[in-house]
Structure 1
Amino acid sequence: MQDNNLDLPFWEGFSIWNFDRRSDGIWISLVPTVGSIARCSNCARACSQIHGRYWRTVREMTMVGEPVWLQVHLRRVRCPDCGTCAEHIDWLERHARVTRRLAQFVGLWCEKLPVAHVCEMTGLHWETVRRIERAKLATQLAALPIAEPVRLVMDEFALFKGHRYATVVLDADTRQVLWVGEGRSREAVRPFFEWLGVERCRQIEAVAMDMNSAFDLEVQQHCPRARVVYDLFHVIAKYGREVIDRVRVDEANQLKHDKPARQKVKRGRWLLLRNPENVPEDQQPKLEELLAANQALMTTYVMKASLKELWQPRTAWQWRRSWKSWLRMAAQGTLEPLQRFARRLHPYWRGILARLRWPMHTGQLEGINNRIKVMKRMAYGYRDSEFFFLKIKAAFPGNP
């Protein structure tokens, strides 16, 4: 079917020249509307000289349940300022093989569905959908204002199985994900400080993190004014693994002759790791019975509560007395796991004390890490880490 005068608002500046229904979809041929003036795709200047003409095949939104293919007759213009270049089209990006309308549709659904589902819904190739989404993410990130962080939060999350991690850096004030990189070593996080630059590094006043020496050393090297703040959650989690679990196993091994008592100790792990206020009421008697029957577990449980109090607001001198008291009690005890943990914790005292001046933690980044895991599960994993990091940064642009 041919119609030289059919002009529709879907494709501004073009008229339908031919319409054909084939086995693979609907094919529509478009030609420039009579009298339309071509504009330069670089400067949008109207150009009267035409250098040449060519056809481009483009995918459009699905209509009446069938794929739509556009064969567009395009012009190359001779611009006085830019030279020879393609004409500007409002509904089609330069060199694009899909219309802007379809690209926007793909970008919208990629925020909610895995790429494979979007491919099935639109009939586009996986690489085409991924390229469209990547361009959208790059545009979103480029539109964000330049970050001027003062406080940072650093943490890692599992990228793949096999102890492969990625590091996330968050602006603690705006909650914007500033940077994501693979690895958690000094070399892995150094590109972030190089991206931040010398001037912005000097503005950093505090950085919250776990007891990761790589993070600590890089912050000290690049941010001379920054104070490192160690997160309570990570320290207590480390205490649970290295002290409570080790003492519990040792005590269970000593009760081989008393199987009922041994089972209580072995099964009491989660009761010992929970905070007292989080223990269910029906489990309170079991916890009290367990602590009353085992002096070593009682000691580790009390020492954990005392350790947590070091993060409570107080003066520097009060903290110093509490810190020395905790170290002394740990050293004077008979529990080797507790003594070993205290020796390892001692060099990090400045990062614990900094909590009094900078009440920061990595909790907000832990919540973001949980959402990152959901994104990864929805997509059944990402083969391209760089693209995954773009999605993370676009998903957390910060507070308006």
Structure 2
Amino acid sequence: MHDNNLHLPFWEGFSIWNFDCRADGVWISLIPSSEKPLRCSGCAAVCQQIHGRYWRTVRDMTMLGEPVWLQVQLRRLRCARCGSCSEHVSWLARHARVTRRLAQFVALWCERLPVSHVCKLTGLHWETVRRIERERLEGQLAALPEAQPTRLAMDEFALFKGHRYATVILDADTRQVLWVGEGRSREAIRPFFAWLGPQRCRQIEAVAMDMNTAFDLEVRQHCPQARVVYDLFHVVAKYGREVIDRVRVDEANRLRHDRPQRQVVKRSRWLLLRNKENVPADKLPKLEELLAANQALMTTYVMKDSLKELWRPTEPWQWRRAWNNWLNMARDSAIEPLCRFGKRLQPYWRGILARMRWPMHTGQLEGINNRIKVMKRMAYGYRDSAFFFLKIKAAFPGNP
């Protein structure tokens, strides 16, 4: 079919020259019309001189279930500013191999579906879809105003199996994810402070984290004026792993000749780790019976509640008295895992005390980490960690 007069709104400035149905889809040849002035694709300036012509093959939106291929004749112009350049086309980006509306369609569905599903939906190659999605994400992040954080929250999440982790850093005030990087060592998070720069590092007043020595040392090096605040959840979780679990295993081993009682102790892990107010009513008698029958488990369970009290005082002298009482009780308990935990916790007292001045925690990051897990499951994992980190930052742009 040849028709130089057939104009359609999809392809502004062009008319259909040829139409062909093939096995792999519909092929449409487009030639430029002379209705609009020629503009440079680089600076949008009006150009008068045509330097040459060439053809480009482009994918467009599917029509009636058939893939649409466009063979577009483009003109190369002579621009006073840019030199030799291609003409500006409203529906086709510079150097693009897909039309703008197809790119917008892909970007829209990439917000809701994994890349592999969008590939099946559009018939595009995986790399093409990911490139379109990456450009969209980079555009969103570039449009955000420059972050000026004063309080940070830092945490880690599992990136792959085999104890491979990534670190996520959040603006605690705006809830914007500022940075994501692979690893949880000092070297892994150092690029964040290089990105932040000396001026913004001086603005940081407090940083909430778990008892990660690498995080602590790196923050103190780059933000010496900032106070490190240790999160209650992580301290209690560490207590559960290092004290309650260890004492439970030791008591089960001690009762190896009393098999019924040994099984009761061995199977009580989640019962002991739960807060008493969260224990189901039907399990409460079992917990009370277990604690009454085992002095070591009773002591560690009570000391867990006492540990939480260290985050509740409102006056420094109250906190100091509660801190000294807890350390003395841990030391006097004669329970080796508890004594060892108290000794390890002692150097971190400033970070626990800082909670009174800076009532911060990493709870916001825990919620973000849960959503990150959902993103990983939806995509069946990511081949490119940098692309995954880009999606995380775009998913949490912060509150306006």
Q: 1:205 aligns to what?
A: 205
Once the 2 structures are TM-superposed, how far is the Cα of residue 246 of structure 1 from its aligned partner?
A: 0.6
Secondary structure of residue in 2 paired with 1:52 = strand
Q: How much has 1:358 moved relative to structure 2?
A: 0.6
Tell me the CA shift for residue 260 of structure 1. Answer: 1.8
Shift of the 313–76 alpha-carbon distance from structure 1 to 2, 3 Å rule, reads farther
What is the Cα deviation at residue 157 of structure 1?
0.5
Question: 2:183 — aligned with what?
Answer: 183
Indicate whether 1:124 and 2:127 are aligned: no
Instruction: Measure, in 1, the Cα distance between the counterparts of 2:268 and 2:158.
Output: 28
Distance across 2 between alignment mates of 1:336 and 1:10? 76
Q: Tell me which stretches of 4 or more aligned residues in structure 1 moved more than 6 Å.
A: none
Query: How far did residue 80 of structure 1 move?
Result: 1.5
In structure 2, distance between residues paired with 1:224 and 1:255? 50
State how far apart, in whole Å, the 2-side matches of 1:79 and 1:256 are. 88
Does the Cα contact within 8 Å between 2:13 and 2:35 map onto a contact in 1? no
Alignment of 1:245-284 (within 5 A): 245-284=245-284
1:73 CA displacement: 0.5
- Give SS of 1:211's match: coil
State whether residues 15 and 31 of structure 1, in contact with CA within 8 Å, keep that contact through their aligned partners in structure 2. Answer: yes
- 1:151 alignment partner in structure 2: 151
Distance 1:103 1:373 in 2: 27
Does the 8 A contact of 2:155 with 2:169 survive in 1? yes
The question of whether the paired residues in 2 share the 8 Å contact of 1:7 and 1:33 is answered with: no
Report the CA distance between 1:48 and its aligned residue. Answer: 1.1
Local SS of the residue matching 1:153: strand
Specify the SS of the correspondent of 1:34.
coil
Q: State the alpha-carbon separation in 2 of the partners of residues 257 and 161 from structure 1.
A: 38
Amino acid at match of 1:254: R
Deviation at 1:313, TM superposition (A): 3.8
Match for residue 161 of structure 1? 161
The aligned residue for residue 49 of structure 2 is 49
- The 2-side partners of 1:82 and 1:95 are apart by 15
C-alpha separation in 2, matches of 1:89 and 1:146: 32
Flag structure 2 segments of 5+ consecutive residues without an equivalent.
Answer: none
Residue type at the aligned position of 1:81: R
Q: Give per-residue Cα distances to partners, 1:350-380, cap 9 Å, x unaligned.
A: 0000000111111110110111111111111
Q: What is the distance in 1 between the residues matched to 2:345 and 2:36?
A: 75
Amino acid at match of 1:340: R
2:171 paired residue number: 171
Q: Which deviations, in whole Å up to 9, do the C-alpha atoms of 1:308-328 show, x marking residues without a partner?
A: 010114201100000001001
3-state SS, counterpart of residue 96 of structure 2: coil
1:248-327 → structure 2 map (5 Å cutoff): 248-327=248-327
Which amino acid letter does the alignment assign opposite residue 393 of structure 2? K
1:280-324 residue CA offsets vs partner (Å, 9 max, x unmatched): 111110010011011100000010000001011420110000000
CA distance in 1, matches of 2:247, 2:391: 43
String of CA shifts for 1:177-232, please: whole Å, max 9, x gaps: 00000000000000000000000000000000000000000100001221000011
What corresponds to 1:340 in structure 2?
340
| In structure 1, C-alpha distance between the alignment counterparts of 2:33 and 2:156, rounded to whole Å | 56
Tell me, in whole angstroms, the C-alpha distance in 1 between the residues paired with 2:290 and 2:81: 84
What is the DSSP-based 3-state SS (H/G/I as helix, E as strand, rest coil) of the residue aligned with 1:7? coil
Q: Could you say what secondary structure the match of 1:331 adopts?
A: helix
Does 1:328 pair with 2:331?
no
- Give, in whole Å, the separation in 2 of the partners of 1:39 and 1:368: 46
- Normalising by the residue count of structure 2, what TM-score does the alignment of the two structures yield? 0.99
The residue aligned with 1:373 is 373
Percent sequence identity over aligned pairs: 80
User: 1:108 & 1:364 partners in 2: Cα distance?
Assistant: 27
Give me the whole-angstrom Cα distance separating, in 2, the residues matched to 1:82 and 1:69: 30
Q: CA deviation at 1:385?
A: 0.6
Which position in structure 1 is the counterpart of 2:390? 390
Query: What secondary structure sits across from 2:36 in the alignment?
Result: coil
Matched to 2:387, the amino acid is: F
Measure how far apart 1:261 and its partner are: 1.5
Quote how far apart the aligned CAs of 1:36 are: 2.7
Q: Is the 8 A contact 2:150 2:206 kept in 1?
A: yes
Q: Could you tell me how far apart the structure 2 residues matched to 1:149 and 1:375 are?
A: 26
- Give SS of 1:6's match: coil
Aligned to 2:226: 226
**Alpha-carbon deviations, 1:254-297, whole Å to 9, x = none?**
11222221111111111110011101111110010011011100
Does residue 84 of structure 2 align to residue 84 of structure 1?
yes
- Structure 2 residue aligned with 1:2: 2
Q: 2:93 corresponds to which residue?
A: 93
1:65-116 residue CA offsets vs partner (Å, 9 max, x unmatched): 0000001110111111221111111111100000010001101111111111
